[in-house]
Amino acid sequence: MIKFMNGKLLSEYDIPIKEHYYILLMSWAGWVFDFYDLTLYTFLLIPIGKELHLSNIHLSYILGTSLAATALGGIVFGVLADRYGRRSVLQWTILTYSIGTFLSGLAPDFYFLILFRIITGIGVGGEWATGQTYVGETFPPKVRGRFGAFMQTGAPVGVALAALVGGFLSPLIGWRASFMVSVLPAVLVIIVRKKLPESDLWEERKSMIKSGKLSKAVSEDESGSGFMSLFSSDYIATFLKSLLLAIFIMSAYWFTYAWLPGYLYEQRHFSMTKSGLWMIITQTGGFIGYATFGFVADRFGRRPAFTLYAFLMATGLIMITLMWSVIAQYPSVILAFMFMVGFGTGFFGGYGPIMSELFPTKIRNTAMGTAFNLARGVQFFTPVVIVVVARYYGLGGGISIASLFAVLAGLWIWTFPETRGKKLTALGRGNRGQGVRGE
């Protein structure tokens, strides 16, 4: 185990040191390309559909299947990360989704494309929880919220990058080449291997087991199924509440973004380039929303910040869908609400810190990966539902459903305890104000 100054764990420092920033940078970059690889497909729907002769419903099945695959990735890589460490599994997830995206560019038909997007989804599902657990276990409690939220800025950066590739590069090189050049994130694995320390909180727990400082029962639990522990009497209530919250926020997000580029292109008659530019405006708002959420949450609490941002997202969504005709003659106003939608998605930045503060070290990655990605797996139905609703109310009508889920998320967060300032320990969930290692 790496020894830091004065024998401290990284999470016991008052302010972040360089090792914290290495962890943040690599976790953030992994999340950028994680989201880029997942959402690039949504910007390539039109050319893929034309070349492979696929209907909107077939294209929705492909997206839905890749989202469902993230559930499997979240569970599998979550268990692996709790057993083999955060650093190694972060590398495995990046390699997995990079390979899946590269292969997507070689897909000859509908069935192979589904298979390759499943591989991408499995890798994507594992990366988020591993990165968030990594950050949550190593950063000082008083700044965990802001840095956990900052890691989430990788999502809008990834979507903006996908918009650039899908809107500007793909018309020049084609959708297949756009997928294939996206294998570059695999280079991150080399950097991760050389730069990152392992989570010392995870290492300390492993060390305590090997030295016999933990009871036999605890050691056996460590070698058993962390996944099944989620359904024990100690954790099931918290896990199910966390899962429901994740379903709300995932539904709010994917009902918005699964067909938003297509909505601008098909229903609002934007060009691919203009659609990409407007999506970049939305993701600029998203970046700022994620970046500011952590400061608001650390200052005023997780729950008030979560509700504020969720309601802002809901308001923006209603205005750019159901109320489009009211503001259509004012492009600057539409852009402002597009920006608001992105800004409001900043509430996603609160989910990782909250989850890391609710579960103990032995199952933290498993709990986060399972809840987050089971919720994302449920989104298999989202793009299909939007297409079905669009037959009667247009794509805008389908996308507007996202506002309902944003409101539900903003309300449901109040069923959780306030966890601002909680310290994490090697064994327990930690406590507010102070924590003792090996409690």
* pLDDT single digits (tens) 276-321: 788 888 989 988 998 898 888 888 888 999 999 999 999 999 999 9
Residue bearing the bigger pLDDT, 256 or 209 = 256
The DSSP secondary structure of 401-423, one letter per residue, reads: HHHHHHHHHHHHGGGSPP-TTEE
Which tokens is 358 given?
């609710």
Domains of the chain: which residue ranges?
11-432
Burial class (CB in 10 A: 0-12, 13-18, 19+), 49: middle
Query: For residue 431, what are the β-bridge partners?
Result: 423
* pLDDT value, residue 310: 96
| Confidence band, pLDDT 50/70/90 cuts, at residue 427 | low
CATH number of 11-432: 1.20.1250.20
Burial class (CB in 10 A: 0-12, 13-18, 19+), 418: middle
* Segment (H or E) for 431: strand 431-432
Q: What is the pTM of this model?
A: 0.71
The per-residue pLDDT for range 369-404, each reduced to its tens digit, is: 788 878 877 887 887 788 888 888 888 888 899 999
* Contact indicator for 121, 65 with CB cutoff of 8 Å: yes
Longest CA–CA separation in the chain, Å: 71
Query: For residue 287, what are the β-bridge partners?
Result: none
Residue 194 has pLDDT above 60, yes or no: yes
* pLDDT value, residue 6: 58
| Confidence band, pLDDT 50/70/90 cuts, at residue 411 | very high
Taking CA atoms, 238 is separated from 97, 230, 249, 334, 349, in Å, by: 30, 9, 17, 39, 19
- In this structure, how many other beta carbons lie within 10 angstroms of the beta carbon of residue 123? 27
- CA angle, 31 as apex, 18 and 426 as ends, to 5°? 55
> Percentage of residues in the chain with pLDDT exceeding 70?
88
Which tokens is 2 given?
């790496």
* pLDDT value, residue 213: 66
Mean pLDDT of the chain: 82
The per-residue pLDDT for range 44-93, each reduced to its tens digit, is: 988 999 999 998 889 888 988 888 888 888 888 888 888 888 888 888 88
Which SS3 state, helix, strand or coil, does residue 53 take? coil
CA pair distance 191, 187, nearest whole angstrom: 7
Q: Which residues of 67-87 are buried (b: 16+ CB within 10 A; e: fewer)?
A: bbbbbbbbbbbbbbbbbebbb
* pLDDT value, residue 173: 93
3-state helix, strand, coil in the chain (%, to 5): 80, 0, 20
- Closest by CA to 24, choosing from 153, 112, 125, 169, is 153
